Amino acid sequence: MKKYPVYNIQRFHCNSVNSDLYINTFKNHLIDHSFVEEPHRHNSYVLVFFTKGSGTHEIDFDVFTILPGSLFFLQPGQMHHWDLSDDIDGFVIFYSQEIYNLYFGQKTIDEYPFYSSVNNSPEMVFDSAETKSILPYFESIIAENGGNKMMKQDKIMNMLDSIHIEIARKYNAIHVHEAHSYNVKIKNFEVLLEQYFKAEKAASFYASQLHITLKHLNRICTEILKKTTTQVITDRIVLEAKRMLMDKKRTVNEIATELGFDDYSYFVRLFKKHTAMTPTAFRVSKK
């Protein structure tokens, strides 16, 4: 097994509705899968709601404090690990994009505004009143998953969607963005960036693909993301470099090449400019 593996849902499959969905209390999840406290990734979406205990949760090299009411929503590919107190508890759900999109048909999981790798935090904290609203959905999913009643999966998927609606409502109350064309362009830019960031580093490429001027794309990024287009592109490259550096089997030169840098020294300078350390120093700091 690689030191920093990518786990699929089948790796956790235990009394789930099917192989595209995994549901458990967090305490029982740790009993069966203690290895999840080591750095790893998932090829699915991950939803975790803590109701008890404390600790820290590191997601793509950002550290979040865990407390009752902490809710985390991870997208496929994000690297994370925990440092948890002994009394930790809550709920954990893994689900594939396919099961969600196929079930609901007319809407897709990435339409929820809090799923955005460009700008959004993967964490929200629900206060006691908000917890009372969302907790019954998690409790009902656990109960439904443990039973064998008719239309079991239908009920679970609808409750999972209700959880997403509660998260979206809280997100929208915090992040009030006008529903104008800028949001559409940002989403399209994000899709393009995920597809091309290893091969295309120029901001002008993305503006061309979006059929707008570079000046207009910079205006959109500055207003919505508070960054220039080039900064957004660079942040995505550096994040992927950090993820890849966690795999000790890869040399820095190999990582630079895979990220599309023919000039190894330029890659090192870029990484150091944005992290204040060289790729090798970053790797050593994460031992």
Q: What pLDDT does residue 1 have?
A: 32
Q: What pLDDT does residue 8 have?
A: 59
Alpha-carbon dihedral of residues 170, 174, 175, 178, nearest 10 degrees?
A: 90
- pLDDT of 31 strictly over 70: yes
Q: What pLDDT does residue 174 have?
A: 76
- Report the alpha-carbon distance of residue 153 to residue 67 in Å, rounded: 30
* Residue that is last in its domain, among 174, 207, 223: 174
Do 127 and 147 lie in a common domain? yes
pLDDT bracket for residue 131 (50, 70, 90): very high
Do 89 and 191 lie in a common domain? no
Among 65-69, 178-182, 192-196, 261-265, which stretch is predicted with the lowest mean pLDDT? 178-182
Q: What pLDDT does residue 278 have?
A: 95
- pLDDT of 117 strictly over 50: yes
Q: Select the more confidently predicted residue: 9 or 51.
A: 51
- pLDDT of 67 strictly over 50: yes
Report if residue 17 sits inside a domain. Answer: yes
Does the CA dihedral 215-219-225-226 come out positive or negative?
A: positive
Identify the domain containing residue 222 by its residue range. Answer: 181-285
Do 53 and 86 lie in a common domain? yes
Q: Select the more confidently predicted residue: 266 or 177.
A: 266
- Report the alpha-carbon distance of residue 96 to residue 101 in Å, rounded: 9
Do 89 and 139 lie in a common domain? yes
Number of domains observed in the structure of the chain: 2
- pLDDT of 132 strictly over 70: yes
Work out the mean pLDDT of the chain and round it to a whole number.
Answer: 87
Residue pLDDT, tens place only, 87-114: 999 999 999 888 888 888 888 888 888 8
Per-residue tokens: 26: 């967090």
Determine contact, residues 52/88, Cβ cutoff 8 Å: yes
Residues 6+ apart with CB under 8 A from 169: none
Do 124 and 209 lie in a common domain? no
- pLDDT of 258 strictly over 70: yes
- pLDDT of 70 strictly over 80: yes
Residues 6+ apart with CB under 8 A from 94: 9, 12, 21, 22, 42, 44, 45, 46, 47
Q: Select the more confidently predicted residue: 252 or 30.
A: 252
Helix (H) or strand (E) holding 113: none
What percentage of the chain exceeds 90 in pLDDT? 60
Determine contact, residues 232/192, Cβ cutoff 8 Å: no
Do 159 and 27 lie in a common domain? yes
Do 133 and 259 lie in a common domain? no
Do 150 and 232 lie in a common domain? no
Report if residue 95 sits inside a domain. Answer: yes
Per-residue tokens: 42: 């998932």
pLDDT bracket for residue 85 (50, 70, 90): very high
- pLDDT of 57 strictly over 50: yes
What percentage of the chain exceeds 70 in pLDDT? 88
Please count the other Cβ atoms lying within 10 Å of the Cβ belonging to residue 90: 23
Q: What pLDDT does residue 29 have?
A: 87
Do 90 and 118 lie in a common domain? yes
Q: Select the more confidently predicted residue: 6 or 191.
A: 191
Q: What pLDDT does residue 91 have?
A: 96
Report if residue 1 sits inside a domain. Answer: no
Report if residue 217 sits inside a domain. Answer: yes
Report if residue 100 sits inside a domain. Answer: yes
* CATH number for the domain that contains residue 34: 2.60.120.280
* Residue whose entry in the numeric block shows the structure tokens 């090299």: 61
Q: What pLDDT does residue 212 have?
A: 93
Beta strands 6-7 and 41-42, pairing class: parallel
Among 123-132, 181-190, 210-219, which stretch is predicted with the lowest mean pLDDT? 181-190
- pLDDT of 160 strictly over 50: yes
Over residues 41-48, mean pLDDT: 90
Do 143 and 220 lie in a common domain? no
